[in-house]
Structure 1
Amino acid sequence: MDSVWTARLVGSRSHIHPCGFHVTELFFEVPLNYARPGDGTIRLFARSISRPEKTIPGLSKPVDEPMKPYLVYLEGGPGFGGPEPRSHPVSNRALDAGYTVLYVDYRGTGMSNPIHTDLVLKQGDVNQQVEYLKLFRANSIVRDLEAIRLCLTESWKPEYQTWSIFGQSFGGFVCLSYLSKYPQGLREVFMTGGLAPVKRQPLEVYSALYRKVIQRNEAYYSKYPEDEANVARIASYLTTNEADIHLPGGGTFTVHRLLGLGMAFGGHGGLDTVHNLVVKLISDLDQFNYFTTPTLMALEREVPFDSNPVYAILHESIYCSRGVASNWAALNAARKFENFFFWTQSDHSQLSLPVDGMVRVYFSGEMVFPQFFDTYPTLRPLKPAAEALARYSQWEEDLYNEEQLRRNEVPVYAVSFIDDMYVDIGAARETAALVKGIKVHETNQLHHNAIRAKGDEVLGMLFKLRDDTLD
């Protein structure tokens, strides 16, 4: 383990938000590569929110309040920055519970040295691009977080210097890496849909996830049976016209772009979102025999790889440990399931759709495929680097320390979703059994995005886990 760094605070701006939050925008400087700090620095961005102190009439200053410890919210992904505080369910509940809340943009996302195509290409050849991109995994993220903690709490009383973290989805993966590497910085850990498959390799992970994706496709076609023919019709149209269908943002509308919409199936309302787009697409074909600009713009917004390329480039690497390459695990796992034939057959022109008795056309889930690097304009120049990363296995360190998790002393509270399409429940249970002292609430009533869709319900579960005692 390399030495612990303290981030340098390079900017701070505060204001009172109309919704009543005291918001402070923070900019930090940390090494790009903690193992070689002389290689340069990057800038990180975070927002802290608290309740403004009250001023009693007749007094010139607010009444002093006790110091409030931090709760750090860690977003899902990888590849997405922290949410806007006023709209997130965690904000009010955590403030009411006595925390100051910190929303952090991971390195490479949001306003923290955001990765974009030109920035990656400027690193040099493909090997140099890979060396750069691998610095944006969870092992670097937790070093950033610990560096920020040391900076923000340096002058605080020791009892307040540890902080709490809250990880949603990939944020839970980050929590487990933090517990593995810097448990001394943590007071408590909350996770929703984030019990990472610590013991499993990429091909195992995706093979399990496809089974849940199949269930969600079946649920979709059960809810909207007319879409079985509609999706097949759109896919058939695309197999003969996709080279000519240009999207407003510069990409092309391919069968793979269509089927990638299934990423939404794992969240509350996701089936409806995809159905509404299918209705728009079919309506365009019925009226014009082509897709209109408003419909294509709606399609583009659903899977934002162009604005969040880190998700596509590094997604499979979140399951890689030392000596393990992903080798396009999602694509290889798809070969086991006939309904995902569009991903595994290179010549779609020979497919005639619809065909009586043919297997249904299934949407994919959160999987990333090499075909995406042909249709998204910001991903196209990065395809050589993505191919190289898929073959890369020389990771300097593991993302998790199983021995440390077995002897964990930090309180951990997790809500786990039995029907989660993004995190296999079997793997989640394996990980829960590994982490000493963890408390888990399992439910089959919620989907992966429940923290946003049903935040009060999920937060109530978590705080009940924290506040209740076991005999």
Structure 2
Amino acid sequence: MTSYRQPGVVLTDHRFTVPLDHGDPSGERIELYAREVVAGAHADADLPWLVYLEGGPGSGARRFVGQQAWLGRALKEFRVLLLDQRGTGLSTPANRQTLPLRGGPREQADYLAHFRADSIVRDCEIIRPQLTGGAPWTVLGQSFGGFCAVRYLSAAPEGLRTVLITGGLPSLDATADEVYRAAYPRIARKVEAHYARYPQDIGRARRIVEHLAEHSPVLPTGHTLTPEVFQSLGIMLGGGDGSHELHYLLEDAFVPSPGGRTLSDAFQENMAAALSYAGRPLYAVLHEAIYAQDKQPTDWAAERVRGEFARFDAANTLAGDGPLYFTGETIHPWHFEHDPALRPLRETAELIAARTGWTPLYDTGRLAANEVPVAAAVYHDDMYVDTEHSLRTARAIRGLRTWVTDEYEHDGVRAGGGHVLDRLLALVRDEV
């Protein structure tokens, strides 16, 4: 273990080995990385542990500096573990560069089938006794991390002291189709709210998509920029500052050139940064698999369901005079054609989309009998996680207390400083 300091905190690097397949504990093993954080003033204190499960899937734990965001509040009373879930961050990586070591697309897909919430929870249960001496710990789950926390309550509640969930109460039984059928109307509302705030962006978005439909430019990074790719910028609208960030991205799209109006270098650079999945390819490859529980393939649910909502068809927009509707947290086959970080994984992604035999993630009986204190922030009209699905799940988990708020968007636990975490701790302790 290596320890070092940042302002106000002491950090320690931890590495663990766990089975790739928890059903075969004597088989292949992979490495997990986690960063322990403790307040400098409490470095030698005997503090309870809080493990943070990042959103995603496929995102490493956030790299904080000092006591940023919610971390400062947590460090008042916890020793915090920032876990890079399997395949992410400094854990054994899974991306276009490493996955060919597994073999061809079939072998890669079989490997990645072990990267869902059930395996992540089993990983946590191997790590926990090594750090806590066997004592249960508190879990803070953001977004997909909340999905993992509900799986934790279903599969290993004995390892849990308290569960805190932010924007991550999943439906216990909705299919991927049902998830996206509920999502597109929410996305539409976010787009309409953006245009109400920035009406000048209606014309800007149309002019950009007209240009892309005619030229399909290739960015210097190798991304092919099509109308559909441009529409996927709507994922930004689910964050607290996302509408403003999208507005600033659109405002300098074009510059004059000897060959006529063209996309500015600044716009192309910003587009590449916003669109790339190089840093989190598993988000794209496994996104729909996190909803798979009924032994049926997800079969590119977001793309199929989009056909039920004509307003999201860019060709329809160009044929008429209405505004362009951006899409949101949806993954489509064309992501694996236009993003150079995903192109080598296209066949692997197809096999994941066609995969059957997915097992249930949540145990409704155990959740109904839950005895672990649980509190959840449910963000009103959250673009990423359906509010009604979340509230239905909240009612199914015995003793869970909710805080439904429109003060924050999906990133509230990060954007709100320590306020969201403080509120959840107060709820779970019956202090409010």
- If the TM-score is normalised by the length of the shorter chain, which range does it land in? over 0.9
* Distance of 1:45 and 1:303 partners within structure 2: 26
Contact 2:9 / 2:67 at 8 angstroms: preserved in 1?
Answer: no
User: Which position in structure 1 is the counterpart of 2:391?
Assistant: 429
* Distance of 1:296 and 1:421 partners within structure 2: 26
Listed one character per residue, the Cα deviations across residues 99-157 of structure 1 (whole Å, up to 9, x for unaligned) are: 10110000011011121113222322322121011111111111111111021123xxx
Residue 151 (str. 1) matches residue 130 (str. 2): yes
User: Which position in structure 2 is the counterpart of 1:371?
Assistant: 334
* Distance of 1:302 and 1:29 partners within structure 2: 33
User: Which position in structure 2 is the counterpart of 1:92?
Assistant: 72
User: Which position in structure 2 is the counterpart of 1:22?
Assistant: 10
Q: Normalised by the size of structure 2, how large is the TM-score?
A: 0.95
User: Which position in structure 1 is the counterpart of 2:103?
Assistant: 124
* Distance of 2:55 and 2:91 partners within structure 1: 15
Cα RMSD (Å) = 2.0
Evaluate the alpha carbon distance shift between residue 52 and residue 456 of structure 1 in structure 2; reply closer, same or farther with a 3 A threshold. Answer: closer
Contact 1:338 / 1:359 at 8 angstroms: preserved in 2?
Answer: no
* Distance of 1:352 and 1:40 partners within structure 2: 51
User: Which position in structure 2 is the counterpart of 1:35?
Assistant: 23
> Which secondary structure state, in structure 2, belongs to the residue aligned with residue 44 of structure 1?
strand
Contact 2:311 / 2:317 at 8 angstroms: preserved in 1?
Answer: no
> Which secondary structure state, in structure 2, belongs to the residue aligned with residue 326 of structure 1?
coil
Number of aligned residues: 431
* Distance of 2:256 and 2:136 partners within structure 1: 56
User: Which position in structure 2 is the counterpart of 1:190?
Assistant: 164
User: Which position in structure 2 is the counterpart of 1:5?
Assistant: none
Listed one character per residue, the Cα deviations across residues 323-361 of structure 1 (whole Å, up to 9, x for unaligned) are: 12211111111111111113xxxxx5xx783x5x53321
Contact 2:74 / 2:80 at 8 angstroms: preserved in 1?
Answer: yes
* Distance of 1:334 and 1:431 partners within structure 2: 25
Residue 177 (str. 1) matches residue 157 (str. 2): no
* Distance of 1:275 and 1:336 partners within structure 2: 28
Contact 1:108 / 1:136 at 8 angstroms: preserved in 2?
Answer: yes
User: Which position in structure 1 is the counterpart of 2:427?
Assistant: 465
Residue 448 (str. 1) matches residue 420 (str. 2): no
After TM superposition, give the deviation of residue 44 of structure 1 in Å: 0.6
**Structure 2, unaligned stretches of length 5 or more?**
none
Evaluate the alpha carbon distance shift between residue 241 and residue 151 of structure 1 in structure 2; reply closer, same or farther with a 3 A threshold. Answer: same
User: Which position in structure 2 is the counterpart of 1:413?
Assistant: 375
If you compute each CA radius of gyration, which structure gives the higher value, 1 or 2? Answer: 1
Residue 68 (str. 1) matches residue 15 (str. 2): no
> Which secondary structure state, in structure 1, belongs to the residue aligned with residue 2 of structure 2?
strand
After TM superposition, give the deviation of residue 400 of structure 1 in Å: 1.2
* Distance of 2:107 and 2:36 partners within structure 1: 35
Paired amino acid for 2:301: A
> Which secondary structure state, in structure 2, belongs to the residue aligned with residue 16 of structure 1?
strand
User: Which position in structure 1 is the counterpart of 2:34?
Assistant: 46
**Structure 1, unaligned stretches of length 5 or more?**
1-11, 55-61, 343-347
Evaluate the alpha carbon distance shift between residue 137 and residue 285 of structure 1 in structure 2; reply closer, same or farther with a 3 A threshold. Answer: farther
Alignment of 1:220-369 (within 5 A): 220-242=194-216, 245-283=217-255, 289-342=261-314, 353=318, 357-369=320-332
Contact 1:256 / 1:372 at 8 angstroms: preserved in 2?
Answer: no
After TM superposition, give the deviation of residue 444 of structure 1 in Å: 1.9
> Which secondary structure state, in structure 2, belongs to the residue aligned with residue 117 of structure 1?
coil
> Which secondary structure state, in structure 1, belongs to the residue aligned with residue 268 of structure 2?
helix
After TM superposition, give the deviation of residue 313 of structure 1 in Å: 0.3
> Which secondary structure state, in structure 1, belongs to the residue aligned with residue 418 of structure 2?
helix
User: Which position in structure 1 is the counterpart of 2:136?
Assistant: 162
Paired amino acid for 1:16: R
Q: Normalised by the size of structure 1, how large is the TM-score?
A: 0.87
* Distance of 2:262 and 2:326 partners within structure 1: 22
Paired amino acid for 1:323: K
> Which secondary structure state, in structure 1, belongs to the residue aligned with residue 113 of structure 2?
helix
After TM superposition, give the deviation of residue 288 of structure 1 in Å: 5.4
